[in-house]
Chains A and B, each alone.
Chain A
Amino acid sequence: MMAADETAMDPVLSVRNLSLEFVTRRGVLRALNEISFDIARGEVLGVVGESGAGKSLTGTAIIGLIDKPGRLSGGEIWLKGQRIDNIGHDGLRKIRGRRIGMIFQDPLTSLNPLFRVGDQIAETILTHMPVSKAEARARALALLTEVGIPAPENRIDAYPHEFSGGMRQRVVIALALAAEPDLIIADEPTTALDVSVQAQIITLLKRLCRTRGTSVMLITHDMGVIAETADRVAVMYAGRIVEIGPVADVIRHPKHPYASGLMGAIPALGAKVQRLTQISGAMPRLNAIPPGCAFRPRCMQAIGKCAEAVPPLVRVGATSARCWLHEEQDERSAAHG
């Protein structure tokens, strides 16, 4: 069902049919549904979709930080061949920071205001690596230099409030990279920043991960960033991946009507971007997801079948999409291939 053959043979991260639900008094809400994707070594996977689509939940589910009423109700998460969705609290703690680094949206609140930034970086290193305090501090200094903090030998003993927003996000990136993880999950790392520094931060993140061979799951709602940064992109809608594939294909020839609508919002990239659909209306809330395709109430191309069943994710050309319009095409291409 999932088209995994386009990624490298040995993915760093492999998410298989992941589902997540919230058990509330008014019933069970399915927030993530059959999420499947791989991220290869050194690859940048962009994750897009409007607010509430489940992007952040996917990221937090991977590092096992889902809060109480939420729970994984199905699926598997594999990190370099090791299953990590069922390894318990202590097992996960050794993965977090060490094998998977996380960057959150708001650098202003991600750092403990009462601790020097150098100490916070050294703390992360000491937690995961068998080095001396002096060595940890030396590495912290090297990291601050690497993320482009000016005069790092002076700034290492500064407190978070003594940095600007952009500088703080650089510190957060240094923290995420401190224990040399295989994968970085960056959840809207620039949304809270001044527009003038957003590009710098993304460029920095991309450069650092490329030189280290670190894979990235980059969550953003900025299609421009995806176009410039990601190798592949997953489009999420109402808790499902509705289209996933190489970034150029998804941008130029989106197969899912929702993806097409999103692409209509990207600034010109030189390519012919056709605006197929105008997306009006809003994404349904978790407790009001319609039967069949969740996008149907907003879809201009809906057909009879759309209200009856959830479309499967099928291979369409270079990408995979969850839309009944492409079902037959898929069968044809399967027959030809």
Chain B
Amino acid sequence: MFAFAIRSLAQGVLVLVTVAFIAFSMFRFVGDPVVNMLGQEATQQDRQELTERLGLNDPWPIQFARFLGDAAQGEFGVSYRQGRKVSDLIRERLPATLELAVLSAIFATGLGVLLGVYAAINRTGFVSNVIMTTSLIGVSLPTFLIGIGLIYIFAVELRWLPSFGRGEVVRLGWWSTGLLTESGRKSLILPVLTLGFFQLTLIMRLVRAEMLEVMRADFIRFARARGIADRSIELRHALRNTLIPVVTIAGLQLGSVIAFAIVTETVFQWPGLGALFVNAVQFADVPVMSAYLMFVAAVFVIVNLTVDLLYFILDPRLRSGRRVAKGH
């Protein structure tokens, strides 16, 4: 267990350092930071001073080490465009993205597992066929179309829900939440559905396929031969075995929900990190871009570590060491 955890952790750190290197390289290859910060009219003197002050004359390994040290503390310098610290910008935008992503994740996994199990158990039923057909649409429609479609139906035609923004938010320290006001909650519904829909259909199809596979296993047949009730076979014996492979893929999918909320945030003008990133790209705002890159990498690493940990909880074959009985 310990060795396993260390290995996962080491892998995570390696990924982060690699991505950090790419983020760091962006500063050198995407525009000239000095020009970006001072504008075109600055004198040669000003430029040299800033170059020196930013440490850009140091050899690159030293610069990279400095970048890593700053990144570890959440510092990514100052936004070229907004002139504010990137860490402040991120902190401001993070709650919007996390609230959206976590709710989407709960929606997608919760309903996805439920529907997947249902469709596996009632394989030939009418409802299962409806679910499977609908899921095919979910898998094939691009997210922005789903978002626009939902806006058209629920915001434009029915006028039930707002089509953009977070509504009223309540501040709790540096965190801002939309969950405590009615307009905040209403504003969350369409973006959550849009962001979660693809993952929902994916997880559902995955759960169904895995579960059908597990139901063919010998131990399920043996459980039947022991007279165990169908519900217990499906929801205890089969489901737990189904969830083990599902956890990995669902985990990675959820990582990508958090990381790539970009499209949904753009469609709904959601003031989150994705929207911040899209703006940064338009203006080659490298500090913001590199910070976002690091954020995405960190999310994936954290999700991966969590998945590894979940494996341990779910699968006793990994948990216990070599305690195999000697002899026969």
Contacts and interface: CB of A to CB of B under 8 A. Distances in A.
Interface in A101-136: 101-102, 104, 106, 109-115, 123-124, 127-128
B66 interface: no
Nearest to B224: A65
Contacts, number: 99
B328 A166 contact: yes
A114 B328 contact: no
B227 A97 contact: yes
A194 interface: yes
How many B residues touch the partner, as a band? 20 to 34
A22 B6 CA distance: 54
A96 B226 contact: yes
B320 A104 contact: no
Contacts of B244: 114
B29 interface: no
A197 B326 CA distance: 13
Interface stretch (B142-150, B287-295, B309-317): B309-317
A161 interface: yes
A112 B325 contact: no
B217 to A, nearest CB: 7
B328 A104 contact: no
A161 B320 CA distance: 10
A162 B324 contact: yes
A113 B219 contact: yes
Contacts of B227: 93-98, 124, 127-128, 179
Interface in B219-266: 219, 221-230, 232, 237, 240-241, 244
B171 interface: no
Contacts of A109: 217-219
A78 interface: no
A112 B237 contact: yes
Secondary structure of the B contact surface, majority rule: helix
Contacts of A112: 219, 223, 237, 241
B237 A96 contact: no
Q: Most chain-A CB neighbours within 10 Å: which of B219, B228, B232, B320?
A: B219
A159 B320 contact: yes
Contacts of A203: none
Contacts of A124: 226-228
A95 B237 CA distance: 20
Contacts of A164: 324-328
Nearest to B317: A161
B316 A113 contact: yes
A114 B242 CA distance: 11
Contact of B323 (A113, A162, A172, A178): A162
Interface in A50-82: 63, 65
Given A114-B241, A114-B314, A194-B328, A63 B225 contact: yes
Contacts of B315: 113-114
Interface of B: 217-219, 221-230, 232, 237, 240-241, 244, 314-317, 320, 323-328
